[in-house]
Structure 1
């Protein structure tokens, strides 16, 4: 698969908000509050990003965006994986694993000692990918979020 990664740039925020909102509304029935959360995360990233310690990758093929993954600083030892997304037509082709490895490797090279993430139990393919990459499930809690009943999960991995 001939895919290139580039840093977060012009037009990416709108695309990410739309993709997250549309994909999760269709797949899981999420309401508009999910897209609003993604917009808030992106505004915070743009306003406070430390380029030496935080990074985003947007996957491209030709002129089309295929996905994203972000690494943001929690503290001196901990990075957080955020906004990991693949468009449905490229899921299952190894791109997600490649993106996860790129993000984790980058975090290691920045001397982060661990990474954390927040997700939902219903994201089974992503959770299987995390497990395969050595992540551990640390918390699982039933919640009502984005207009639906979900099981929130926290995961972490030592780098």
Structure 2
């Protein structure tokens, strides 16, 4: 906890200094950052009230009222009665206010451009993705479904995918199931065998990505015209419960139906209770189980089958 707090404070000190938030005036204008944020919110919303501004920016109502009165005296904003509620006043920018906001945004754009011009394409992408993640994680109504909205899906393999999938399996299964390092070797061997006979026509891999990193996967491996194997089904813990795993599983099973497979099977262990629950809901039935000790854990090796025809 102390390390997290220290890191956040360090980032805050760097960021506020880097973009000039410690200056009393914003971008060498007569206005503070708070005043500019209020102007921006007024410009961004067609029907905004003082209370709405307070809620958006988490500001004291009296403080906002004083700033709005100052803007009104300078002919920067206008107030008019709300048609739906006579007690509320709708706030809009005057022509002068619109011009002021445009000038400030132009200055801000130039400042941002001076930062990002120093970065390459991949560095810019990393910066934007990191900012989006920070925004989602620190949102007052955060839940992992917010991150899930940023997830993209793709079919097929690219260089580096297999290596990252081996890493994810080794990391997550050690952390969650207590598997030994030998499990990672086993996963590496299964992917080695897969690539040795991989056929784009018959085999399929689907991946879910967040910030261009793989956070979910599933594969269908062709065995013969009647049967295929479901393999390497995995969802990163942060994204579980968001429907991503279910979507991957459904896509894989739909593909099997399109290929007219009569049977789909998978091999797992009794420790994988969450995944097994999903398999059972999809219609898989356990057809074999044998007691074993694998990867440093006593467990049952299990086979599940799903009859499609």
Is TM more than 0.5 here? yes
Contact 2:155–2:204 under 8 Å retained in 1: no
The one-character-per-residue Cα deviations of 1:35-61 (angstroms, maximum 9, x if unpaired) are 111111111222211222111111113
Report matched runs for 1:1-159 at 5 Å.
Answer: 1=149, 2-159=151-308
Contact 1:20–1:35 under 8 Å retained in 2: yes
The one-character-per-residue Cα deviations of 1:42-89 (angstroms, maximum 9, x if unpaired) are 112222112221111111133121111010012220000011111110
Give distance in 2, aligned partners of 1:131 and 1:70: 18
CA shift at 1:148, angstroms? 1.1
Structure 1 residue matching 2:193: 3-state secondary structure: helix
Q: Which has the higher strand share?
A: 1
The one-character-per-residue Cα deviations of 1:112-148 (angstroms, maximum 9, x if unpaired) are 1110000111111111111111111111221101111
CA shift at 1:6, angstroms? 2.9
Contact 1:4–1:61 under 8 Å retained in 2: no
CA-based RMSD: 1.2
Give distance in 2, aligned partners of 1:8 and 1:44: 15
Give distance in 2, aligned partners of 1:41 and 1:84: 13
CA shift at 1:3, angstroms? 2.6
Q: Is the radius of gyration larger for structure 1 or structure 2?
A: 2
Contact 1:53–1:110 under 8 Å retained in 2: no
Give distance in 2, aligned partners of 1:50 and 1:63: 25
Give distance in 1, aligned partners of 2:215 and 2:233: 11
Length-normalised TM-score, structure 1: 0.94
Contact 1:32–1:146 under 8 Å retained in 2: yes
Q: Which has the higher helix share?
A: 2
Contact 1:117–1:156 under 8 Å retained in 2: yes
Could you list the runs of 5+ residues in structure 2 that have no partner in the other structure?
A: 1-148
Contact 2:153–2:206 under 8 Å retained in 1: no
- After TM superposition, where is structure 1 displaced by more than 4 Å over at least 4 residues in a row? none
Give distance in 1, aligned partners of 2:213 and 2:286: 33
